Amino acid sequence: MNEMELKYGCNPNQKPARVFMKNGDLPFQVLNGKPGYINLLDAMNSWQLVRELKEATGLPAAASFKHVSPAGAAVAVPLSETLQKAYFVEGVELSPIATAYIRARGADRMSSYGDFVALSDECDAQTASFLQREVSDGIIAPSYSDAALEILKTKRKGTYLVLQMDPDYKPEPIETKQVFGITFEQQRNEIAITEDCLKEIPTQNKDLPAAAKRDLLIALITLKYTQSNSVCYAKDGQAIGIGAGQQSRVHCTRLAGSKADIWYLRQAPQVLALPFREDVRRPDRDNAIDVYVGPEYRDLLDGDNWKRVFTEKPPVFTEEEKQAWLATQAGVALGSDAFFPFGDNIERARKSGVAYVAQAGGSIRDDNVIETCDKYNMTMAMTHIRLFHH
């Protein structure tokens, strides 16, 4: 099949809508549900992301997409006991692909609400069972076990979108799109993100251990499929904060840094010990945690509001306690889709435990950025690769 009619485009008033191939058949099959225009944009971008993560690291990869940018991306690195608790999979023996998706979803659970899922490897029954409990719109993977497919077909009253991607599909080297009736054409961004792009290190500290290289590659490949301007913090085999689509780079760094901070605050002992009621739904629990660790905590704790989610009123997580916990964060990697124009980005990154940086370089203020990294003994690689994505 080389054409598929869609219900509508980005919005209900945008009809007719379709996807089609000029040459050959569509490289995916619909195994369940009916795809929408944005579903397929998410699917095609997220598939490229997980495919490249798998190629770069050799590990199964997963992504959680919302509105054509990743909310999270990760590879199959085993979870620590703390992360098992934070991701609510304590004591569960996880398959590699389930581990990758649980990490990807755990990066920013609020943004992952109603996500589109991408897996680099076959979706197994365990991953499908985990997805069955989450609010999600669809999934793309190269294959599905029989048990996984049966589970997914029951989700959303049988309408959950399941796409099977042809892993051997290779697109044409030239891509086009139309804006306001004008056709734009360019060569596809096929640049490979490998450890070779991390060799030029102008900072005094040149230490770049294997785990940091892996995390920098994850950050950079994630940025390749994130709406620009964009910045990504990564640690332990996963993105932990993604700032997408900001006009100012330092705003990207601040946005992504605030998400990375929330990710780490969710692991604080007082957060892991929150006394949730057994009947609280997952989205309500996730929202409560984000409010509890944020500046609007009074919305949750004042009056009787806490009774909706907790069995007893938890103590306030004070600003002093939060800052003390955040000060223990270390070893974080930071990637940028273009150069950092000023050292203020590094100043903000330091507050979220960044020790390793990868950025394009080429700013007239590179010396200021390098000096700021040296001030905090960070290791920074100049990749000379810009990764704008629109």
- Per the annotation, the verdict on 22 as an active-site residue is no
Q: Name the catalytic one among 66, 85, 322, 389.
A: 66
- Per the annotation, the verdict on 390 as an active-site residue is yes
Q: Is residue 41 within 8 Å of 177, Cβ to Cβ?
A: no
Q: Give the position of tokens 């993105």.
A: 239
State how far the Cα of 157 lies from the Cα of 339, in Å rounded to an integer.
Answer: 46
- In three-state form (DSSP H/G/I as H, E/B as E, the rest C), the secondary structure along the chain is CCEEEECCCCCCCCCCEEEECCCCCCCEEEEECCCCHHHHHHHHHHHHHHHHHHHHHCCCEEEEEECCEEEEEEECCCCCHHHHHHCCCCCCCCCHHHHHHHHHHHCCCCCCCCEEEEECCCECHHHHHHHHCCCEEEEEECCECHHHHHHHCCHHHHCCEEEEECCCCCCCCEEEEEECCEEEEEECCCCCCCHHHHCCCCCCCCCCCHHHHHHHHHHHHHHHCCCCCEEEEEECCEEEEEEECCCCHHHHHHHHHHHHHHHHHCCCHHHHCCCECCCCCHHHHHHHHHHHHCCCCHHHHCCCHHHHCECCCCCCCCHHHHHHHHCCCCCEEEEECCCCCCCHHHHHHHCCCEEEEEECCCCCCHHHHHHHHHHCCCEEEECCCCCCCC
CB neighbour list of residue 254: distance below 8 Å, 6 or more residues apart: 243, 348
Which phi and psi (to 5°) does residue 68 adopt? 65, 30
- Per the annotation, the verdict on 229 as an active-site residue is yes
Q: Name the catalytic one among 229, 235, 345, 389.
A: 229
Active site residues: 66-67, 229, 390
